Amino acid sequence: MKKNLFSQQNGIRRLFLALIIVSGYLVSSILSIKSDHGVNQQDGMYWQPKNTINAVMMGTSHVHCGINTGLLWEKYGIASYDYSGAEQPLWMTYFFLKELYKYQSPEVVVVDMYAPARFKEDYQYDWIAQNIYGMKFSLNKMQMLAVSVEPRRMHEYFPAFAVYHSRYDSLEKEDFENFFWNSQQKEAFKGYTPYWNKEKQNCPQIQTKVSGGLTHKSEVYLRKIINLTRKKGSRLILITVPYIFTEEDQQTYNQIKEISEEEGVPFINYNEYYEKMGLNFEEDFNDFSHLNYWGSCKFTDYFGSYLSSEQGLPDQRGEAGYESWDDNVEMIQKELKSHLKK
């Protein structure tokens, strides 16, 4: 009798403990910071089938707003992923790349150069949360935090749960939406999150041969990225996704071009190809800094042709293990139809 009672009590304790663990997970999942400008891109990477991403796109929001993963797959069969974050500096891109290599072996790594051209401080705080809270805890993440956050401000970002548990009064619809995604939906997300606004822009007319403006810290991590891709056997391509650039930006791009030639790495400033890709300055920009959906399709098509013909990336449509890219196309088309109805 006592043995049965003891066994029942143990069963109740185990059930109670399980309920506490599950409840804690549910609450933390809902309270955790979500964002289509970095957090979701980081979290989504972990759901991708191992060693299926053949081209990873890295950098700032210019990447996940400007490179249409669905179009790259649908037209060229390129299995790509936008693994980027808003205003992401190159030192964070470097640790993102180290994290990616734990799970993927991309043939091509593409890194956008907008951040080093535009942001000149050694610490970038405006969008730093979007570049932190989707990455799993690891030594790599702690090393990233160490170079991205000053010691006096570390408590603002670490540990993560200290930030999460102040969000009860600021929860929004998106905090609950992705929570209910199944594994197929999470695999289907490839990081691309387009803008839908149309804002008229003036076409920049800038031609300068002046070179300079790249900070020491940015140059150090640019060279680290170059060395890491060499070590891992990936081909690195440096680009700029089109936007309304300035003379100061171009001066930095001139310096990056010099480094790329020294290192034997291609650098393509797609701001020089507005006309060839058919960008319409009245229809194809969300704002001065970002392409909208329609602009991203034009740029992606142009860039995809280069990746396919010049870089020789294979067409993997129809291959086993790549079904989630078909789902990605469907996901983007569904979102497009939703916006066209508005």
Q: How far apart are CA 265 and CA 108, in angstroms?
A: 12
Q: Between the CA of residue 100 and those of 82, 231, 255, 307, 320, what are the distances in Å?
A: 11, 14, 28, 20, 22
Q: Residues 265-294: pLDDT tens digits?
A: 999 999 999 999 999 999 999 999 999 999
Beta bridge partners of 268: 239
Same domain flag for 22 and 117: no
Instruction: Please report the pLDDT score of residue 47 as a whole number.
Output: 96
Same domain flag for 222 and 136: yes
Return the residue matching tokens 């759901």: 47
Question: How many separate domains does the chain show?
Answer: 2
Q: Residues 139-195: pLDDT tens digits?
A: 999 999 999 999 999 988 887 655 555 544 555 555 555 555 577 889 999 999 999
Same domain flag for 205 and 220: yes
Same domain flag for 10 and 135: no
The CA-based diameter of the chain, rounded to the nearest angstrom, is 90
Same domain flag for 283 and 325: yes
Same domain flag for 25 and 52: no
Band (pLDDT 50/70/90 cuts) for residue 62 is very high
**Which two structure tokens, joined as six digits, stand for 28?**
């933390």
Mean predicted lDDT score pLDDT of the chain: 89
C-beta of residue 239 within 8 angstroms of C-beta of residue 267: yes
C-beta of residue 77 within 8 angstroms of C-beta of residue 69: no
Q: How far apart are CA 62 and CA 84, in angstroms?
A: 9
Reported as type and span, the H/E element at residue 12 is helix 2-31
Same domain flag for 236 and 320: yes
Instruction: Please report the pLDDT score of residue 157 as a whole number.
Output: 87
Same domain flag for 315 and 199: yes
Same domain flag for 9 and 67: no
Closest C-alpha among 123, 187, 129, 182 to residue 160: 129
Q: Residues 240-253: pLDDT tens digits?
A: 999 999 999 999 99
Percent of the chain clearing pLDDT 70 (strictly above): 83
Same domain flag for 129 and 269: yes
Render the burial of 237-269: b for 16+ CB within 10 Å, e for the rest: bbbbbbbbbeebbbbbbbbbbebbeeeebebbb
Q: Residues 90-100: pLDDT tens digits?
A: 999 999 999 99
- Domain enclosing residue 21, as ranges: 1-31
Q: Residues 287-334: pLDDT tens digits?
A: 999 999 999 999 999 999 999 999 999 999 999 999 999 999 999 999
Angle, vertex CA 174, rays to CA 128 and CA 149, nearest 5: 10
Q: What is the mean pLDDT of residues 79-98?
A: 98
Same domain flag for 45 and 183: yes
**Total-model pTM:** 0.87
CATH number at residue 240: 3.40.50.1110
Same domain flag for 332 and 299: yes
